[in-house]
Amino acid sequence: MSDLTTKTALVTGASRGIGRAIARQLAAKGALIAVHYGSNAAAARETVALIEKCGGCAFSVHAELGVPGDVERLFSGLEQGLRDHIGDLRLDILVNNAATTARTGVRPEEVTPAEFGHMFAVNAEAPFFIVQRALGLLSDGGRIINISSGLTRSADPAQIPYAMSKGALEQLSLHFARHLAPRGITVNSVIPGLTDNGGPAFGTPEVVERLAQISAFKRVGEAVDVADVVVFLATDEARWITGSFLDATGGALLG
């Protein structure tokens, strides 16, 4: 695969989990990474340190999404970091990865309007306005990659608002792909399945064993399994893919 040296990338929610792995894999290919985080500054610093330890270059950007002024705050930090590192306001790769999963295992009858609204604010509205705000910075031939979920194709009544918000995110990929094609910018979704994000559930062997049965490969996904798919979409080799989605569920949807 072609390398990403001279490219710049913003990865939202890169303080941990899949976002951290995406940031690290893009950096390993040579890109300068803006490591966005919502609340965990120490974890974001750790992501930056891990990248630098491997010879990469990164800086962190703080902005809680889903609150007033979120996107402006994010871009103020991003632009400052770009000025400091490359003396220019150019963004080549945007990965909308940050998301809230809110309460899991909640019956649809119990979901409140506030919860539902927050889910959409973080998972769908923020990515839309991030893309909108990024348009002036994105270079022609750039990449937008939205991290959706296998739950857009596999039913789980305990996750309806989350799945709906990810469905909206995939629409963002589809329609912006048409809008940005004249500039050679591709817009795609990646849909992870159950992926070890370092959360407590993945530290319990019985739980992991149960979750592993969902994948055709009978194991839980590693964050890097998803990150490598994102890196592929970011490279020149993926230039002919746009408005699409890549299934990174490890065959979880095969039935």
Task: Tell me whether residue 8 or residue 189 sits nearer to ligand NAP (CB atom).
Answer: 189
Q: Does 167 bind ligand NAP (CB under 6 A)?
A: no
Q: Does 130 bind ligand NAP (CB under 6 A)?
A: no
Q: How large is the angle between the packed helices 223-234 and 17-28, nearest 10 degrees?
A: 50
Q: Does 161 bind ligand NAP (CB under 6 A)?
A: no
Shortest reach from residue 244's CB to ligand NAP, in Å: 17
Measured CA distances, 25 to 57, 65, 226 (Å): 12, 24, 10
The tokens describing 41, both together, are 């500054």
| DSSP category for residue 106 | -
Site string for ligand NAP, 68-107 (x = CB under 6 A): -----------------------------xxxx-------
Annotated catalytic residue 162:
yes
Which of left, alpha, beta for 141 (phi over 0: left; psi -120 to 50: alpha)? left
Among 4, 162, 226, 238, which one carries the catalytic annotation? 162
Using CB atoms within 10 Å of the CB of residue 45, give its burial: 0 to 12 exposed, 13 to 18 middle, 19+ buried.
middle
Q: Where are the beta strands (DSSP E) in 27-135?
A: 32-37, 57-62, 91-96
Shortest reach from residue 226's CB to ligand NAP, in Å: 7
Q: Does 215 bind ligand NAP (CB under 6 A)?
A: no
Residues designated catalytic: 162
- The residues of the shown chain that bind ligand NAP, judged by CB under 6 A, are 13, 15-19, 37-40, 43, 64-66, 97-100, 122, 147, 149-150, 192, 194-195, 197
